Chain A
Amino acid sequence: MSGILGSALAGDMLLVGAVILPLFALPPLLLAPPRLAERLSVLVLLASLLVALALAARVGADGAALATFIGGWRPPLGVGLRADGFSAFMLVMTAVVLFATGLFAMTTPGAAPGRVARGRMPPAFWMLLASVFSALNLVFLAEDLFTLYVALELLTFAAVPLVCLDGKLAQVEAALRYLLFALFGSVLYLLGAVIIYGLYGTLDIILVARAASASPGFVLALAAMSVGMMAKAALFPLHLWLPPAHSGAPPAASAMLSAVVIKAPIFLLVRFWLDLAPTGLAVAVAPVLAGLGAAAILVGSLVALAQPRLKLLIAYSTAAQIGYLFLMFPLAVVASPWSALAWTGGALHLASHAFSKAAMFMAAGLMAEALGHDRISGLSGVGRAVPVALVAFGLGGLSLMGLPPAGGFIAKVMLLSAAIHLDAWWIAAVILAGGLLAGGYVLKVVGLALQRPAEPLAVRPVARWREWVALALALVAVGFGFVPLEPSSFLFIGRPASWAGLVP
């Protein structure tokens, strides 16, 4: 009896702990001296990573979703937290990327005081990092549409200042534009949630999904919420805020924004269309999402090819890679054995993009630090200055191109085979074209960086271990290439009943 009670308690603690633990970094940041506070923050990030791993292990061992109602209050008055397989997957991915970001942003130990002051991230960065962590975990765990609204706004408030940490004119402009897009997205989301409450008298996702039908009101609500999330996810044609915001931020902040913050609205779109919407409606709407995704891949990649600066190139590549996650929808919502494979491929692409993009932004930051600029035309020979960072960039790019053995390859194989078996030829064509275009912009940079420099480079030293952090993330992205080529049963733990028959 006490054992059951103990394990139930531990489950609750894990869910609540995942949300509040990162915030324990805030008091030391306000009170302790900067260097100590920085180290304590990294420890808190590590602890949060362990909680995420424990949660995933628990979900995997139980084979069922972990759920709790805060304070024992049930809906409609109470709100629930729930971790299914997909949530746990996202939690672990986020925790690993953010912990690596923390390591990357840490001041080099033992460096001369003058250099430290130049390279040190301000305490505000660590506070925002902790807040982003907590808000993201809440997005992944919340079961209540209004809690999700609050989580999205917390995420916005934490992410926007990251863009303008240095306080330069262009960065403040980018931050303001990002904020207005994000607010537009949240308020449309709230409008949808309000309509749903008016229709069904509850905001609990599971209760709404049980009651939902394709009534005009519900369609309107889903449309408003989806457009809101597209604005936040920077899906073409609402992507214009992303490149200046992600390229203007300091490298550690760009890595976190491009790798994980952008995934929160996509996670919610998956929840809306796979969990909340009736299947018939989802099948009707999915091609629209995929069409926008295809446009994002083609336009984003072509524009990336033309960028003069490295960080802008990577930022446009994010706008393009987001598109693959939308290509997943028409393949994943139909009732077919192949949809489970498409869905696994989509989730894998999401994770491998997160790791490779974080690695690439960090590598680009190190190249810019070594050279003092990030103009692509001036990158010639940078491989001699920061070789490990260049390898990290190349391996991350390998995953974006979808070449074996990287994670992006296996994800694209899954999406491609599902597309071909479901007769969605145009999706297969876009996936292949997107890979070629990614090859274009990645190889352009790598080729230049490997060249012999025309004149000896004036290089500032960068901390080697920061290069290794970037490389470690890139290696994780490549490591995803070794997962088995089959639907992952972990991702389906605790998913709606309509999915149960599709998993082997």
Chain B
Amino acid sequence: MSTPTVMGLLGAALSAIGIYGLMVGRDALARLLAFNLLGGGVFLVFGVVARRGAGAGFGADPVPQALVITGIVVAFSATALAVALLRRLAELREKARAPRPAPEGEA
């Protein structure tokens, strides 16, 4: 088996694990990690596409590499936003559990 085939299969496997995790995951953090696995799988497949030089007939097509970098940045910021929401959620839940000293307006 050639390297691109192996890498392509690995990318497919990563994507499959990611999709499975996103669909069955109960916990938001687990689903966020599954999203990152899925993203990794997709980027790997894109890298394999670049290796095949589908676009311009080069030995290695530069377009997917540029796009993968953009995609990684976007996925990173998505993860950061999700983690920020998760942390806020944890804080709010903790506050909701703690006994409230005085009622401060309606929730």
Binding site for B on A (CB under 8 A): 76-77, 146, 149-150, 153, 156-157, 160-161, 164, 167-169, 172-173, 175-177, 179-180, 183-184, 186-188, 190-191, 194-195, 197-202
> Contacts A169-B96, A187-B35, A194-B46 known; A156 to B85 CB distance under 8 Å?
no
The docked-state distance in angstroms from the alpha carbon of A65 to that of B84 is: 42
The docked-state distance in angstroms from the alpha carbon of A442 to that of B102 is: 40
> Contacts A146-B67, A149-B71 known; A184 to B22 CB distance under 8 Å?
yes
A-B interface contact total, Cβ < 8 Å: 97
> Contacts A157-B78, A187-B38 known; A76 to B55 CB distance under 8 Å?
yes
In the complex, which of the residues A146, A179, A191, A194 contacts B82, with contact meaning CB atoms closer than 8 Å?
A179
Please state if B49 and A198 are interface contacts (CB–CB under 8 Å).
yes
Q: Chain B residues near A194: list those with CB within 8 A.
A: 42, 45-46, 49, 64
The docked-state distance in angstroms from the alpha carbon of A195 to that of B52 is: 13
Please state if A180 and B81 are interface contacts (CB–CB under 8 Å).
no
Please state if A202 and B88 are interface contacts (CB–CB under 8 Å).
no
Q: Chain B residues near A183: list those with CB within 8 A.
A: 35, 78, 82
The docked-state distance in angstroms from the alpha carbon of A56 to that of B38 is: 39
Binding site for A on B (CB under 8 A): 15, 18-19, 22, 28, 31-32, 35, 38-39, 42, 45-46, 48-49, 52, 54-56, 61, 63-64, 67, 70-71, 74-75, 77-78, 81-82, 85-86, 88-89, 92-93, 96, 107
Q: Chain A residues near B56: list those with CB within 8 A.
A: 76, 201
The docked-state distance in angstroms from the alpha carbon of A161 to that of B78 is: 12
Query: Chain B CB within 10 Å — which of A175, A186, A187, A199 has the most?
Result: A187
25 contacts between A and B (CB under 8 A): A76-B56, A76-B63, A146-B70, A149-B74, A160-B81, A168-B107, A169-B89, A172-B88, A172-B92, A173-B89, A179-B85, A180-B31, A183-B78, A184-B22, A187-B18, A187-B35, A190-B39, A190-B42, A190-B71, A194-B45, A194-B64, A197-B46, A197-B64, A198-B45, A201-B61
The docked-state distance in angstroms from the alpha carbon of A190 to that of B75 is: 11
* B104, chain A: closest CB distance, angstroms: 13
Look across to chain B and name the residue whose beta carbon is closest to the beta carbon of A145.
B67
Main secondary structure on B side of the interface with A = helix
* B57, chain A: closest CB distance, angstroms: 9
In the complex, which of the residues A179, A188, A195 contacts B81, with contact meaning CB atoms closer than 8 Å?
A179
Please state if B88 and A191 are interface contacts (CB–CB under 8 Å).
no
Look across to chain A and name the residue whose beta carbon is closest to the beta carbon of B45.
A194
Look across to chain B and name the residue whose beta carbon is closest to the beta carbon of A161.
B81
Look across to chain A and name the residue whose beta carbon is closest to the beta carbon of B8.
A198
Q: Which 3 pairs of residues, A with B, have the shortest CB-CB distance? A: A198-B49, A201-B55, A169-B92
Please state if A157 and B54 are interface contacts (CB–CB under 8 Å).
no
Please state if B63 and A77 are interface contacts (CB–CB under 8 Å).
yes
* B83, chain A: closest CB distance, angstroms: 10
Q: Chain B residues near A200: list those with CB within 8 A.
A: 54
* A222, chain B: closest CB distance, angstroms: 16
Q: Chain A residues near B88: list those with CB within 8 A.
A: 164, 167, 172
Please state if B55 and A197 are interface contacts (CB–CB under 8 Å).
yes
Please state if A172 and B85 are interface contacts (CB–CB under 8 Å).
yes
Q: Chain A residues near B74: list those with CB within 8 A.
A: 149-150, 153
Please state if B35 and A184 are interface contacts (CB–CB under 8 Å).
yes
The docked-state distance in angstroms from the alpha carbon of A176 to that of B81 is: 9
The docked-state distance in angstroms from the alpha carbon of A215 to that of B39 is: 24
The docked-state distance in angstroms from the alpha carbon of A169 to that of B90 is: 9
* A368, chain B: closest CB distance, angstroms: 13
Q: Chain B residues near A146: list those with CB within 8 A.
A: 67, 70
The docked-state distance in angstroms from the alpha carbon of A150 to that of B88 is: 26
